[in-house]
A and B are shown apart, each in its own frame.
Chain A
Amino acid sequence: MTPFERLKFKMEGKEVDKIPNLNIAMALVAKEAGTDYSTYAQDYRKLVDGNLCCVEKYGFDVVSAISDPVREAAAFGSEIVFPENGVPYCAEPLLKDGYEIEKLKIVSPYDNERTLDRIKAIEEFRKRVGGEIPIIGWVEGVLAECADLRGVSSLMMDLAEEEDLNEVMEIIFHQQCRFIDAQVKAGADIIGVGNAVASLIGPSLYEEFAFQYDKATIQYIHELGAKAKLHICGNITPLLPQLKMLEVDILDFDWMVDCQKIREITEGSTICFCGNIDPVAVMLEGTASEVEAKTVKCIMEGGEQYIAACGCEVPADTPRDNLIAMNKVLYR
């Protein structure tokens, strides 16, 4: 089976020769591409090369146009800092003084360097491995993008005070749809939605401020004929009943979420769930046999809808033997 068939079959609930390996790698990809993080985040050719190395060496079953969460923030007009060997971030939140909507630039994803670079990565993936290896494009979830623009702590307090965020969120949602559209047109089979900040808020604020946008984002991805993957790192246990209702195709879960619990809650749905090997305590610091044992445990507990990955990004300094050990046990 090709990785493409493998993941497709898995999502259709059919028999597969190997549980797909959907590890998320960024710093590791830069390293494999023989470059620094800053270059990897700004030059799609490096991103593509590094991803293909990971497929080759560690058996990853996807290639992914992921690198940092601030591509959209850049397009909205934020100033971005590119540390040589670190993840790009916003110099300061564009909306730090409040929701001054007029500060947001509304541009086509093709007209900003950073969003265009992601689109080009996907086109390049399609040229080189399209139809053979699933291609994942990425957008920030609406709430996460709001946090990128406003600053996380400020947004948190705004949520607690139930400020009216409708206008800014509508603008963000509209822009995210344009970006999704461009990535699917370029060749993305799956769109990953990164909504890390959702794990910081409880079910009631999630319901009020995030649920409808996550739902609409996923619906939009489906309308374009692509699959949706939701990535919320951190502890999403309290949100699971709501996340089930999103009708997402792949739900990532981090190491602090119980595998059996997620299986119980998603029972009766077609959601595949993807996780939750601890990226630090097991992958980075553990031995190859510990990685193997944890992977087997996940497979046993996860059952038919389980897809293998670390709970969050695989650290760059992960011993190579650990990555290989994980991949080996995924074959039936």
Chain B
Amino acid sequence: MALIQEISELLQKGKAKNVKQLVQQALDENMDPKEILNDGLLSGMMTIGAKFKNNEVFVPEVLVAARAMNAGLTVLEPKLIEIGNEPAGKAVIGTVQGDLHDIGKNLVSMMLKGAGFEIHDLGVDVEPDVFIDKAEEIGADVICMSALLTTTMPKMQECIDRMKQRGVRDKYIVMIGGAPVNESFAQQIGADYYTADAASAAEVAKAAVQKTRGKTL
């Protein structure tokens, strides 16, 4: 238990190497990989996310914490696959066409990972159809689009319109975000959710997937 706590704390400090070592140690001590994931890595990432939201830590601290989480995950992931751990959902994420800003998108991606999502990150400058193609390919639950420029925001609308044309709009939860985006824009273009920050994005995505799964089961 103390070890798990230590993983969470080192992750929050961004100590990638130490996190990796301790995750390995925890596995060697036959700890439950799910517990290492949930109470170590993910809880650490959630704590950082909440602090970021409250202006207690800032982008540099979150980026190094995210890097530490990834380092831990490289050790843990094979074990998780072995035991068949179910992800909270599958999400496709990217920054829209013409837009190269990815810091916010990466943070959302990390927080979703931290909430137990399987993430397919398409990077930056992503064309509308590429989001949809990927979502179809992997059977995604959520499509997340990020835009930081007023000139690229309309690409979000384009993607949603393409989804409609392709007859797949209802298959996916569409989430959008980025500094110039707001709730009224989300409603206007017919997106399902907007959140102002990465920590909320993870919570909303998780709740939304549970809701739709509840409906379909």
Contacts and interface: CB of A to CB of B under 8 A. Distances in A.
A296 interface: no
Interface of B: 14, 55, 57-61, 63-64, 67, 98, 100, 102-103, 106, 150-151, 179-180, 182, 184-185
B179 A160 contact: no
Contacts of B60: 156-157, 159-160, 200-201, 205
A171 interface: no
A22 B195 CA distance: 31
B55 A237 contact: yes
A160 B63 contact: yes
Contacts, number: 58
17 contacts: A86-B98, A86-B151, A153-B63, A153-B102, A156-B60, A157-B63, A157-B67, A160-B14, A160-B60, A161-B14, A201-B58, A202-B55, A205-B60, A237-B55, A280-B180, A280-B182, A284-B150
Most-contacted residue by chain B among A234, A237, A280, A284 (CB, 10 A): A280
A200 B106 CA distance: 14
Contacts of A285: 184-185
Contact of A152 (B14, B103, B151): B103
A130 interface: no
A281 B179 contact: no
Nearest to B14: A160
Most-contacted residue by chain B among A89, A153, A160 (CB, 10 A): A160
A182 interface: no
Given A157-B64, A200-B103, A205 B150 contact: no
Interface residues of A, number: 26
Contact of A281 (B63, B98, B106, B182): B182
B63 A205 contact: no
Nearest to B102: A153
A315 interface: yes
Given A281-B182, A285-B185, A202 B103 contact: no
Closest 9 CB pairs of A and B: A160-B60, A202-B58, A200-B59, A156-B60, A160-B64, A315-B150, A280-B180, A159-B60, A201-B58
Interface string A191-214: 000000000111001000000000
A281 B60 CA distance: 28
Interface string A160-181: 1100000000000000000000
Given A89-B100, A280-B180, A285-B184, A200 B64 contact: no
B188 to A, nearest CB: 9
Contacts of A316: 151
A238 interface: yes
Nearest to A202: B58
Interface string A303-318: 0000000000001110
A272 interface: no
Interface string A127-146: 00000000000000000000
Given A86-B98, A153-B63, A202 B185 contact: no
